[in-house]
Structure 1
Amino acid sequence: MTQANPVAPTPFGRLVGRRDGDLNVFRGVRYAQPPVGPRRFSKPEPLPRSDETLDAGADGPTPPQLPSRLEIAMGPSAGNPGEDCLSLTIWTPADLGTEKVPVLVWFHGGAFMSGAGSLPWYAGAALARAGRIVVVSVNSRLGALGYLRLSGVSDGNLGLHDQRASLRWVQQCIDGFGGDPANVCIAGQSAGAFAVLALAVMAEGRSLFRRAILQSGPFGLEPEPLARAEERGRIFADALDVRPDAESMRRVPVDALLTSARTVAQRFSRGPGDSTPPFVPCLDGDLLLAPLLASTAAGAASWCEMIVGYTREECSVFSAIDPAFKAMTREQLHAVLGAEFGAKADALMAEYTALRGYRNAGALHADAASDRRFIAPALALARHQAQAGRAAFVYQFNWPSPTTDFGACHCIELPFLFGDRVAWAQAPMFRGASDADYHHIGGAMRGYWTHFVRAGDPNAGGLLAWPRYVEPDRQTITLDRYIAPMSDPAGRCWRTLLAQN
């Protein structure tokens, strides 16, 4: 007997999805008007109300982008790029009836310039099934289309505006899919985690969600000062060889926007291994008023329960991207560290060398960059939350790639969390993963994550106890073949050298 397609009512139309076993799935769900033509470089505009019936059986376009820098670890991504990309994918249990369940909203990573929530990598089916929750994955603008700041053209942070608009849509519409708008958790990895924290420190955040999961957030790379963002914008317009006005910039072909971003990246590069993207969020005086960790230290996100975590070797994969990394001399390393750490560069090199010993300068820089950009700031965020009396749970992901030298690199936890082995079959970092590791680690992660989504505490369902993060013990759950809580597993020399957050 053929099952009827599921229908979800919203103020913007009746959406007809598809049945996938015990789930209903809705794809290509618009949450704002298409940012094309005169809306290019403009903030997202709400959808008009409608009683039209709309098909939600196919993915919408993915945001325009160049190939990801991390294909070396994650493998190639497939998509159908187009500027009309402001859409959602929604997974919901098919048997809810009138029941309303918690909601998890996912923001993908990709350095603000690649990725899409609609990619198979981020399929929410396993999470929806594991926790009996609604999962929403978001597409938003990337690169220059999402983060260019140029007076008279774009105010910047449009990707963040898109993400906020998606949460407003969730508040308006998710009850039609069986979700509880009063019990929303937002989660993201890498640039997606940066967006999660940016949304958490906004005044509007507490009306849009209750709790947050932040995976491998690059919180050591703060939002850019406005003047520097404007400088990037001017260099970008020069590279395009067009007048820096809205009308001219809206006529530029998308491919030209993408390729000219490389000029900006090269101009602002700090040397071998620099992973800073060409366009990043800026302190625009609207969405972002202050550096993120300064805001959390002042209690701006103290209302929000959090899971915060990182992988043990975050930056190892970035060193593999750039051949100059392995050939880096100690003199080059000193110059790169000096640009990032200032007067602490000499002490940093000495301390890291004494602590571990390194086969080359690039390996030292990869560890120092992991600590500075990801690990130390993540623990600073957890400390801020704990000091404010708010629950924070910290994890360190330790499972190493079996067939590469990436170790526990950036992004390596994602195949376990999302649980779709086929989607990650082409990922070199995941190649050789045993079924036992895949099911054990992935099952535990989905259990912890979905319990947290539901109640603000990952502890339930027979899982190993995950203690709250409290100074000075810094209790952290380590996720690997053996899952265990540890006291301060990331403790190392940066605790004194980089005590600046």
Structure 2
Amino acid sequence: MTDIAFKTSEGTILGWRDGNVIRATGIPYATAERYQKPEETTALRWGEPYAATKWSPACPQSFSPILREVLGMDMLNGLPLNENCQHLSITLPPQDRSSSPRPVMVWVHGGSYLTGAGDATVYDPALLVCEQQVIVVNINYRLGLFGFLGGYNDIPANLGLLDIIAALRWIKKHIEAFGGDPGNITLFGQSAGGDAIAHVMSAEGIEGLFHRVIIQSAPLGIRKGKTAITKSMIRKMEGLAKDATVEELLALQNTMLFSMKRVGLKGEMPFGVQYGHPPLPMEDRVEEVWRQRAGQWDVLIGWTDRETALFAPFLKPLQHLAGIPLLGKPSLEWLIRKTTDWIYRTPGKVFAQLMLNSGRSVYEYQIDWGTKDNPFKAAHVIDIPLLFGSEQLWNDALLCKGKSAEELLTEGRSLRAIWAAFARTGVLEEELCIPGLVRYHRVMV
């Protein structure tokens, strides 16, 4: 199984063949004790080659019944849970020693900073890698109470964000050994993953680590004004011992999530980055920092047409609204449009304007995919089955109902081609519309 060797500057990593791709999985990019900052791993300096043949462990998390119903599968699908989750996995096309270095795409998974994992089956990049001849790196980072609540009792804030930056340093340093181009690295991530990418762009110490970004459905509209929410959660944490069990931490986290629902939309994603704590600037300076750094990256940012339609079927008040004769469904659709604008579309457009620089490209896109009779048409997460996995994987997903396996494969290939084209050069056509799938345009000054 471990018949492919990659010789890095710190030791040999053994990969494995998996159908039409080559993988090197479960590679530790850093180590960290609980509530400690990540440190560069020394695992690759052992005398023996490192067998990268196991999937990366996921950060401890609670099961999400909503995701199970929408995706038609358990997202983690048997992945082990471990606080020491600072691992990454690399997927690449069959090696061709004569080829030039390939573009590198680094996937930052979403999940409200609470759930998900880089090696979740729903994020399998094999089709993207095979079709587009790119290298994809899926990374893990700490979540929830393990990675996104600090600034008290000598516990640093933003540990999950620091994990992501540590992963990028590892990739920059070692990806050439896998045939990747360290001078052509694109970050792409959805939902909280897109939000994390945007905030990495404002962080200290990230110069030269990546060159382009694809920010998918980032909830930038709820990034501000969360200080009171954070303080409330910290008060609940202060009485818990630092050596509490994982089970105790997850139980407390679930209690926090339930109590935050009364706060409103911001309480639906209470965990996240904490401004004014390393490596981030103060909240009132973030936009200034983004504007100052605009010339460093090409940007593709976008949203789905009906983002919040994902959540409507699971909220009882909205279910009742939809059932009101004549006015119910139009009112629900109006609410979906307005909340999509407020949380995703409008702040995404503001971010695009901040990123404008005469030397780099900035594009906005919108995904319109799905059938008219599917309530999840063009909803949050609809881009995931188009980019990842296989047509067989998504057979039972409510998101994809009404679309055939052939349509998913064909239309997904079109979207994957756009993402990879941007990753190669940062330049797309000035504008493009594929009806029923995606439209984009270049943002001009």
Whether TM-score is above 0.5 comes out as yes
Identity %: 28
Partner of 1:178: 179
Q: Deviations over 1:78-118 (max 9, x none)?
A: 12212121111101122231642111100011000001010
- Show the 5 A alignment for 1:318-329: 318-327=311-320
Give the direction of change, closer, same or farther, for the CA distance of 1:297–1:281 in structure 2 (3 Å limit): closer
Q: Say which SS state the counterpart of residue 194 (structure 1) adopts.
A: helix
| AA aligned opposite 1:123 | D
> 1:318 deviation in Å?
1.5
Residue 46 of structure 1 deviates from its aligned partner by 0.8
Q: For residue 87 of structure 1, what is the amino acid of its counterpart?
A: H
Whole-angstrom CA distance in 2 between matches of 1:134 and 1:102:
6
TM-superposed deviation, 1:205: 3.0
Letter in 2 for 1:234: R
Cα deviation, 1:359-387, whole Å, max 9, x if unaligned, reads 37654433222111101111112222236
Amino acid at match of 1:221: I
- Aligned residue for 2:230? 229
Query: 1:269 Cα shift?
Result: 2.6
Q: Which amino acid is 1:455 matched to?
A: T
Give the distance between the partners of 2:377 and 2:219, measured in 1 at CA: 18
Tell me, in whole angstroms, the C-alpha distance in 2 between the residues paired with 1:126 and 1:190: 21
| Matched residue, 2:258 | 266
Q: What SS does the aligned partner of 2:30 have?
A: coil
- The equivalent residue for 1:25 is 23
Residue type at the aligned position of 1:74: L
Unaligned runs of 5+ in 1: 243-247, 330-356, 459-465, 468-474, 489-501
Per the TM alignment, residue 195 of structure 1 is displaced from its structure 2 partner at its CA by 1.1
Q: Paired residue for 2:401, among 431, 435, 441?
A: 431
- Please tell me whether the aligned partners of residues 352 and 363 of structure 2 are also in contact (alpha carbons under 8 angstroms): yes
Rate the CA distance shift 1:198–1:274 in 2: closer, same or farther, 3 A: closer
Whether 2:58 is the aligned partner of 1:41: answer no
Confirm or deny: 8 A CA contact 1:5 1:16 kept in the other structure: yes
**In the aligned structure 1, how far is the partner of 2:437 from the partner of 2:229?**
45
- 308-317 vs 11-20, which deviates more? 11-20
Q: Where do 1:278-317 residues align within 5 Å?
A: 278-291=270-283, 294-295=287-288, 298-317=291-310
In 2, Cα distance between equivalents of 1:435 and 1:62: 29
Measure, in 2, the Cα distance between the counterparts of 1:480 and 1:58. Answer: 40
* Structure 2 partner of 1:194: 195
Task: Tell me, in whole angstroms, the C-alpha distance in 1 between the residues paired with 2:270 and 2:182.
Answer: 35
The answer as to whether partners of 1:30 and 1:87 remain within 8 angstroms in 2 is yes
Deviations 1:20-53 (A, max 9, x none): 24421011111012x3xxx101111111233431
Alignment partners' CA distance in 1, 2:316 and 2:17: 47
Return 5+ residue gaps in structure 2 as ranges: none
Q: 1:255, 1:189 → 2: CA distance?
A: 28
The answer to whether the Cα contact below 8 Å between 1:29 and 1:56 also exists between their aligned partners in 2 is yes
Q: State the SS of the aligned residue for 2:219.
A: coil
Q: Distance in 2 between matches of 1:301 and 1:379?
A: 14
Distance (whole Å) between structure 2 residues aligned to residue 129 and residue 227 of structure 1: 46
Helix, strand or coil at the partner of 1:145: helix
1:63 Cα shift? 1.3
CA contact (8 A) 1:41 1:158 kept: yes
| Distance (whole Å) between structure 2 residues aligned to residue 67 and residue 255 of structure 1 | 13
1:427 to 1:290, Cα distance in 2 relative to 1, 3 A = farther
Please name the residue that 1:50 is paired with: 46
| 2:81 is aligned with 1:81 | yes
User: In structure 1, the residue corresponding to 2:146 is in which secondary structure?
Assistant: helix
Deviation at 1:234, TM superposition (A): 1.5
Sort the Cα spacing of 1:4 and 1:269 in 2 relative to 1 into closer, same or farther, 3 A: closer
Distance 2:41 2:437 in 1: 48
Aligned to 1:397: 367
Structure 1 residue 438: deviation in Å? 1.4
Contact 1:40 1:145 survives alignment (8 Å): yes
**What whole-Å deviation, never above 9, does each CA across 1:49-70 have from its counterpart, x for those lacking one?**
3343121111131111112343
Q: Check 1:154–1:388 CA distance in 2 against 1; reply closer, same or farther (3 A cut).
A: farther
Tell whether the 8 Å contact from 2:2 to 2:51 is kept in structure 1 after alignment.
Answer: no
On the 8 A contact 2:56/2:118 being kept in 1, the answer is no
Distance 2:257 2:333 in 1: 23
Distance 2:71 2:392 in 1: 13
Q: Which residues in structure 2 correspond to 1:28-427 (within 5 Å)?
A: 28-33=26-31, 35=32, 39-48=33-42, 49-68=45-64, 69-75=66-72, 76-77=74-75, 78=77, 79-97=79-97, 99-222=100-223, 228-238=229-239, 242=240, 248-249=241-242, 251-270=243-262, 276-291=268-283, 294-295=287-288, 298-327=291-320, 359=329, 363-386=333-356, 390-401=360-371, 404-427=374-397
CA contact (8 A) 1:397 1:479 kept: no
Once the two structures are TM-superposed, the CA of residue 418 in structure 1 deviates from its matched residue by: 1.7
Say what the alpha-carbon RMSD is for the aligned residues: 2.8
Q: Is the 8 A contact 1:6 1:18 kept in 2?
A: yes
Q: CA deviation at 1:401?
A: 4.8
The answer as to whether partners of 1:140 and 1:163 remain within 8 angstroms in 2 is yes
SS of 2:194 mapped into structure 1: helix
- 1:467-501 alpha-carbon deviations (Å, 9 max, x no partner): 2xxxxxxx6x455546556799xxxxxxxxxxxxx
Paired amino acid for 2:310 = V
* Distance in structure 2 (CA, Å) of the matches to 1:56 and 1:314: 37
In structure 2, do the counterparts of structure 1 residues 303 and 405 end up closer, same or farther at CA, with 3 Å as the change threshold?
same
Contact 2:274/2:280 (<8 A) preserved: yes
State how many pairs are aligned. Answer: 432
Give the TM-score taking structure 1 as reference length.
Answer: 0.79
Partner amino acid for 2:255? T
Q: Distance in 2 between matches of 1:484 and 1:47?
A: 42
Larger radius of gyration: 1
Higher mean alpha-carbon deviation, 260-269 vs 97-106, is at: 260-269
Structure 1 CA distance, aligned partners of 2:440 and 2:152? Answer: 49
